[in-house]
Amino acid sequence: MSKKIILLAGPTASGKSKLAISLAKKLNGEIINADSMQIFKEFKILSSRPNLNDTKKVKHHLYGVISVKKYFSAGDWLNEARKKIDMCLKRKKVPIVVGGTGLYFNTITKGISKIPDIDLKTRNKVRNLHKKLGFKKFYDLLVKLDPKIKGRIVSTDSQRVQRAYEVKLKTNKSLFDWFDNTKSDFLNFEIKKIFIDIPREKLLKKISARTELIVKKKCFDEVKKFNKLKIKKSLSANKLIGVAEINDFLSGLISLEQCKELINIKTRQYAKRQNTWARGHMKNWNKLYSENLSILLKKSLKVVS
């Protein structure tokens, strides 16, 4: 049996989960989550995790397995996904990796750089320097320190310029030298890549319908429970769309209609970013779409067979 992995990506609410289940049934497959928010235990409704009915039909992995209190990186995800992929293949199942987090897919197709951990002292030193100099002067200093950065990272991307600076400072190697030496762990695998390329107007309708569905369920209780955990602001679970908006509604700052509209706006913006990522990082993926699931399944089976 060939070591086949199916990667299935697409913007939020595009119908990835339904297609994944249909593919898994046809191909004797199992589903592995590649969504950075569906990984969290505490957010079943707001993250639109597959329901019990779905998980009964096909085995699902890495859904609701990490606490919101924990830091969980793309590297952590890759380690867990690798174990699940190996497990599926040993049991002669086809691993179908499904989600909307582009960075997770990149770790499979391109690998992840083995940059050593940067100590807090160096990190704080770089942050303070960036704050003191401002983005323009800091960038000029970075280019002197690491000329390979020029034209590859923009000066206003504060997160990446600080990362480039701390990596060069600590390892004496350019961030891009680390990237260039990065290889995928799956080079000897047959990787089939599908991106659901749903038309914008259809996606907007699906986003609105999903927001209505989330609000009908007990998403407010989910947010109240999350608030009680008082997790660090820097942790990624805080960024889940709906948390801030529902808190504003619960505080009486906005109405339920305003809350739903703000969730819709943020979700649309997120979907736009996902599509932009796909244009830049998923150029060689098979872009497929049909409103009819059985037609989309046929198209997908042609790609993966």
pLDDT in tens, 35-89: 999 999 999 999 999 999 999 999 999 999 999 999 898 889 999 999 999 999 9
pLDDT in tens, 161-188: 998 999 999 999 998 898 887 889 898 9
In degrees rounded to 5, what are phi and psi of residue 111?
90, 180
Q: Contact at 8 Å (CB) between 272 and 3?
A: no
Q: How many CA atoms, within 13 angstroms, populate the side-chain half-sphere of residue 138?
A: 25
pLDDT in tens, 125-135: 999 999 999 98
Distance from C-alpha of 267 to C-alpha of 258, rounded to nearest angstrom? 14
Distance from C-alpha of 191 to C-alpha of 3, rounded to nearest angstrom? 8
Output the pTM of the full model: 0.85
Listing from the earlier edge strand, what are the strands of the sheet with 60-61? 60-61, 29-33, 94-99, 4-9, 190-196, 286-288
3-state secondary structure of 127: helix
Distance from C-alpha of 170 to C-alpha of 126, rounded to nearest angstrom? 11
Structural domains of the chain in order of their starting residue, each with its CATH number: 4-112+184-304 (3.40.50.300), 120-180 (1.10.20.140)
Residue 284 CA: distances (Å) to CA of 194, 300, 303:
9, 15, 13
